[in-house]
Structure 1
């Protein structure tokens, strides 16, 4: 170990983590793996890397979840060593690297380490990796941990691995590392007073546009209260960059230095926010300051109670960052920022009752985020089965399937899950695979520089004014705080610099719309006729906020960059878009262009059209003169399925035949056909046959001879026994032939009682399997008795019926012995 690090460990700062450093060193020397369980503020990010360097040979790579945290951690450790950053301690983040051959401890973002692993799986020259803040469960952190476990098992059993967690995820992580030792360091936070500051009654925190102006005002008022009632610097948590800027504007004129803090700021402004100065400070921050970043001087926290998290509607292909209520665990971590230096206070912009209903923990990104980048990284790693990787949680099956479908459409992955050469190029672009595709393909169409500008803009959580991405791009070009965007533009441009950059004559409208469409061809949208909403190529409806539609509303074609669909809403809400023409839409989404013959049932008739489509968007439609019979049958089947089999004309004969066939199917089974609604609907062509080909309207459908069609279902040679097994009528002792009703569960013979005198047994059907159910009628044709056992009825039921009815119907026969009495269909003569 280098002398500066040894010197630091010999007289370390008074931080709680020092109590566990000896145990950590022993674990690394004996097992080469360990998990450090320590809450924020214990000094683990500062002192664990030097302790790891003391126990292993080679460079120690330390991961942080954000660029701000990586740079701040490196500066903090270098300051303790009395050296500039880039000597013993360095850092590497996107677009900024301060490291040298002398560097023993290098702090990097997790995404950067992931790309290094893909390029050099053996991590040459690296002796150990320290994964910080694994409890935050970012997707790239989960995957990096899994790949490092794979590397230790198959390539580098000498590679030391330390995972650091502030929550009980430590035990779960230790199991993945092969029951690694867990070094637990107790926290040392000072008491933090909780002050509940809910919004006044009658006002809303959010609406369909996001956080309301009233709530922004309330957060700013709470900050002023914090400044007035408490000592020390104030750290304010809001969900995103737009909310940071809104809060900063509302705090103009307060007696304090107000600093924004988020990942899109230039490094110098981030450093200024993290450095104590002569004046009291108010730092307005996104979640970057939640746990992985130390902000010195803070004694008060104001928490707006929201966070920005990824959510994906995989069925509709909509993924974005959404504003959600903070979890109780995250709220506790935020509050802990006020108790690191001494007793502090947290002012929460919600009520104690609302707090009880918050989720206990935030969901891991692998459960909610778009998985296309994750799936491509796994494919590039060469793992055919995600289940073989040591992940803290396995990805949802449907989400992983949707991600692979996207990658196949991009040409990045084969159907069997292998990365293509194009996929490896896409994986090398520091952006979502869709944006990487837009950069690669867009460079040849609009030039490398301008494609890079749009992709760099879409890579960030940009809230376009009025949803207009063209206006957002122009604002970035002229903005004073666009340094990070310009750096990203330069990096992306370098990746595709071989593409001709000669598209200066193209307008921004064309450039932005085309690149956005290349990134999200499924979100190309066309205005619906007769309305203000749009239909996207994916088939999802979309619309602008009705109260604030913005300058793009009403344009015929849009390339939608960002949209979200909230529960209970039919259409997605367009948050960012750019104009596009039909020609450019076809250029960007040529693979979605189809020409299809469509036969449907609409308004009581068969409609056959040849449609030209861009995904779900209809470009043109012409009548189809001679549609295939199979397509007509399918259209009618769907119509009958939705509207019912009653669309056909069911004559008395057809209904009676169907009832007889249904009885035989239930009584005898095969080969007698199933004639239920479901069965007839499912296989229309087999029984309606060529009659369907002539159907063009409901009137044609009603002309079909359903009875004749049903006869075609009769099995051969059993058809010859239909009248024997299920006769239409049966002759009774009076000589009458009476129709059998097969519509009941058991076939019914409704007959006047006098006509069955002399019968002792009820006739049976279906080769004697099923007896008829006799409905014995009075002379007025009303049921007098129901029986399937005449012997029992003559002895037990008939005497009561005779006594009841013979006085009312004296002209009819009521013999004492019905078994021997002649049957009759007439009354007696006087």
Structure 2
């Protein structure tokens, strides 16, 4: 999500003795980066104003370097530029600004200020301003030249946040086209700087890299794997056994070494769980994350009088300095975004932290003195870990990025100098979403509405809900509800957003305070509109549905069992369900704000939603409303025989709203449905096959196997594929199953014969239906096996020296010689050989059993007969 700077400036105290600032706090002399500042200033001056700074955490790169570049460090004279510092997190913005102001003997708002979404402390004397990368993007969109800014420092670029990558690409574009004198510095806490140097380079080559070396203290690495196997993380779920082990490791480590302890955990939920398990430890337990109250953040980032345990997310890896830490406990887990573009679901998932992250975390223990890190995994697992964090651009929902690129004038982002290219599938999904919101046109260019959406600083979906919702529910309620969506409410407040809204209106906790601030900011961005007559409950559902129309959901069960999960189907076609016992259970319609789909789960989990009704769903999901003619082959549940159905359907995405029979369906749709029925039930089952049709199909199948083209394949799949050739015109006239069953398949198969080549006339010659034997009988040939078979009584073949070969002599006829009773007496493919070698044995065996039938000594010279010998 991007930030903006729409809040009014709050000017802090002026520098002491305006015009004669206080001397710099001598603490700056302890910052190792000071030794690298002269080289950095030369690099920027001599190499076109672009450079890379590689400095480990704690060296002072975030605080001393911007002051020096702004000419605020007399001992490190600089050109006196106005410097803009971009940080990836709001927490880091405040911390960096306070630290720099402290070095100057001031409070933020004087020569050092900061801006985050909804809060700005800067004034006319500000020469170093710290902002989030989201705020920087907003400023670049409004003023690409960044008038009044001389140097931009992109801090913590190694973390590969999407906003930071985008801001760098825009800055490089500005340097190439508008302001070649604008200086850009990429600051990284790692030495992996080649990519940044290449991006910042020019025709002379890569940009210079200046390295600063911190005061490194020895860090002892101890492997502390759980005593028994734990389950790998799934979605945002972490095995409780691992968290119990992490808490036990913290307790043990506190007893083994002095100093503060920093424990890395993947998310807020895990931090809260471990904090509960640490009740009674002889230290103050602080929970440090992006949502932590300001007082907690200040306490974590300031050396305390007593011992502290800081439970932190990855926010403390590099962008913040936590003083006093001598011990690190690392769970080995981190959170990364994942987006299911097909279902429109985005979520954070728990993953194994990269090797680079593990090194960063371990280094926190040796920042000020020798320390120790306890790694809660087997060392062998490092072989499976990624070397570096995955760039956010490869994983995240790119809707905001795509709108930023469109507003910049490069809809496909082909001209942007990005460290990694955006995935094509994610960009296509983002463009589709933006077109549905009216933010871009068919060519992907930003529309006036898209520009306004981008300037809200919100995700485009939330911006759409804010702008359109203000008209439908009133500006105050729209702003409050969108503020509720912009930061997911604590799970403790429940999953019913209508109830959460009522709760936070009167709340006084940190979340409620942030919600009120964001509500006011959003309301200022709107034209004031009065509340409409829509009740609050309906307003909540409407605004949520405006943001996520494809997540409009309808219940699949009218009255679920008490305590059971309530199943729903979303407009996107995704199955979802509520948690057991929630207040949402049994509601016929929901507007789903937050849902995820755990790995291997058949349905998404609804985490936050608001009540909805069909009328409001139609209003919010208007772009998804569609009427269509539905003609299909329907097989009832548990049944085997399908039937053609035709109806007019009104739907909202995948949700069917109403239907009515269709009396005159499109013949093309009917034909397609009948073909589907043939495919699902099989041509052998759905069509009728009298003996004549079966016989012809068998003969054609024999010729295809033996001779190939032009004789057709008449297997089920081939007949289905060629249905338009041999079932027309009957197929076009059919409207029901019974019409297919009445088709004369024998006559229809005749259409497949090779009439055009003239070969069709040779069918009886190459594959005769019957063969006349010496007795005069016309015997049917059996073509069901691999070779054609003629089954005939032995006496009818007397005098027949050899059976004919079929298919132009390529397929010898197999003769089944039958006894007078019609039972097999012998099988041969060489009749002449049988008369010479096999007949004598058959004659000896059967003539006693059938004395009234002729059994001549020489069958080749005997008269064939179908009759008995006359009685004597």
Smaller-chain TM-score range?
Answer: 0.7 to 0.9
1:568 counterpart = 2:600: yes
Using the TM superposition, name which of 419-428 and 283-292 deviates more: 283-292
Q: Offset at 1:519?
A: 0.6
Distance between the aligned counterparts of 1:143 and 1:771, measured in 2?
72
CA change 1:588–1:469 in 2 (3 A) is: same
Per the alignment, residue 6 of structure 2 pairs with none
Q: Any residues of structure 2 matched to 1:90-239 within 5 Å, and which? A: 90-167=113-190, 169-178=192-201, 179-186=206-213, 188-198=215-225, 201=228, 210-211=237-238, 219-239=246-266
SS of match in other structure, 1:586: helix
CA change 1:783–1:829 in 2 (3 A) is: closer
Query: Normalising to structure 1: TM-score of the pair?
Result: 0.87
1:511 to 535, 539, 544: 539
Distance between the aligned counterparts of 1:756 and 1:440, measured in 2?
98
1:397 counterpart = 2:424: yes
1:446 counterpart = 2:473: yes
SS of match in other structure, 1:431: coil
Q: Offset at 1:552?
A: 1.0
Distance between the aligned counterparts of 1:247 and 1:186, measured in 2?
35
SS of match in other structure, 1:388: coil
CA change 1:653–1:127 in 2 (3 A) is: farther
SS of match in other structure, 2:85: strand
SS of match in other structure, 1:561: strand
Distance between the aligned counterparts of 1:202 and 1:387, measured in 2?
47
1:363 counterpart = 2:390: yes
SS of match in other structure, 2:727: helix
Distance between the aligned counterparts of 1:10 and 1:208, measured in 2?
48
1:140-189 CA-to-partner distances (Å, cap 9, x unmatched) read 12222222223333333333222223346421232333322333444543
Using the TM superposition, name which of 235-244 and 401-410 deviates more: 235-244
May I ask how many residue pairs the two structures share in their alignment?
Answer: 814
Per the alignment, residue 44 of structure 1 pairs with 61
Distance between the aligned counterparts of 1:473 and 1:412, measured in 2?
28
- Residues 629 and 649, structure 2, Cα contact 8 Å, conserved in 1: yes
Per the alignment, residue 483 of structure 1 pairs with 513
1:670-708 CA-to-partner distances (Å, cap 9, x unmatched) read 776554433433454554345457767655543333223
SS of match in other structure, 1:126: coil
Per the alignment, residue 531 of structure 2 pairs with 502
Question: Structure 2 stretches of 5 or more lacking a match?
Answer: 1-17, 71-76, 561-565, 848-853
Q: Offset at 1:436?
A: 0.9
CA change 1:758–1:18 in 2 (3 A) is: farther
- Residues 540 and 572, structure 1, Cα contact 8 Å, conserved in 2: yes
Q: Offset at 1:263?
A: 2.1
2:315 to 267, 288, 301: 288
CA change 1:68–1:658 in 2 (3 A) is: same
Per the alignment, residue 684 of structure 2 pairs with 646
1:410 to 437, 456, 460: 437
Q: Offset at 1:58?
A: 4.0
Q: Offset at 1:320?
A: 1.8
Distance between the aligned counterparts of 1:535 and 1:517, measured in 2?
14
1:709 to 740, 748, 756: 748
1:477-527 CA-to-partner distances (Å, cap 9, x unmatched) read 31321332222211111112x141324x65442222111111101111111
1:701-729 CA-to-partner distances (Å, cap 9, x unmatched) read 43333223333444655486253564433
Using the TM superposition, name which of 205-214 and 408-417 deviates more: 205-214
Q: In angstroms, what is the RMSD of aligned CA positions?
A: 3.8
Using the TM superposition, name which of 623-632 and 585-594 deviates more: 623-632
1:451-479 CA-to-partner distances (Å, cap 9, x unmatched) read 11221221123343442222333343313
CA change 1:9–1:80 in 2 (3 A) is: closer
Distance between the aligned counterparts of 1:668 and 1:162, measured in 2?
76
SS of match in other structure, 2:193: helix
Distance between the aligned counterparts of 2:161 and 2:799, measured in 1?
87
CA change 1:431–1:748 in 2 (3 A) is: farther
Using the TM superposition, name which of 142-151 and 430-439 deviates more: 142-151
CA change 1:448–1:169 in 2 (3 A) is: farther
Q: Any residues of structure 2 matched to 1:718-729 within 5 Å, and which? A: 718=758, 721=761, 723=763, 726-729=766-769
CA change 1:392–1:656 in 2 (3 A) is: farther
1:252-305 CA-to-partner distances (Å, cap 9, x unmatched) read 554433333222345454223312232222323222212111111222223344
1:592 to 619, 624, 645: 624
Q: Offset at 1:551?
A: 1.5
Q: Any residues of structure 2 matched to 1:304-383 within 5 Å, and which? A: 304-352=331-379, 357-383=384-410
CA change 1:665–1:495 in 2 (3 A) is: farther
CA change 1:720–1:194 in 2 (3 A) is: closer
Per the alignment, residue 13 of structure 1 pairs with 29
Per the alignment, residue 77 of structure 1 pairs with 100
CA change 1:208–1:38 in 2 (3 A) is: closer
2:522 to 492, 504, 516: 492
Distance between the aligned counterparts of 1:783 and 1:94, measured in 2?
96
Distance between the aligned counterparts of 2:178 and 2:765, measured in 1?
77
Per the alignment, residue 716 of structure 2 pairs with 677
SS of match in other structure, 2:419: coil
1:610-629 CA-to-partner distances (Å, cap 9, x unmatched) read 32211111222333344444
Distance between the aligned counterparts of 1:127 and 1:29, measured in 2?
12
Distance between the aligned counterparts of 2:835 and 2:415, measured in 1?
78
1:657 counterpart = 2:722: no
1:25 counterpart = 2:25: no
Distance between the aligned counterparts of 2:45 and 2:443, measured in 1?
42
Q: Offset at 1:437?
A: 0.6
Query: Normalising to structure 2: TM-score of the pair?
Result: 0.83
Distance between the aligned counterparts of 2:325 and 2:291, measured in 1?
22
1:230-272 CA-to-partner distances (Å, cap 9, x unmatched) read 3112223333334444444555554433333222345454223
Distance between the aligned counterparts of 1:738 and 1:256, measured in 2?
102
CA change 1:658–1:91 in 2 (3 A) is: same
Distance between the aligned counterparts of 1:321 and 1:76, measured in 2?
31
Distance between the aligned counterparts of 1:573 and 1:457, measured in 2?
19
Distance between the aligned counterparts of 2:174 and 2:825, measured in 1?
85
Using the TM superposition, name which of 96-105 and 347-356 deviates more: 347-356
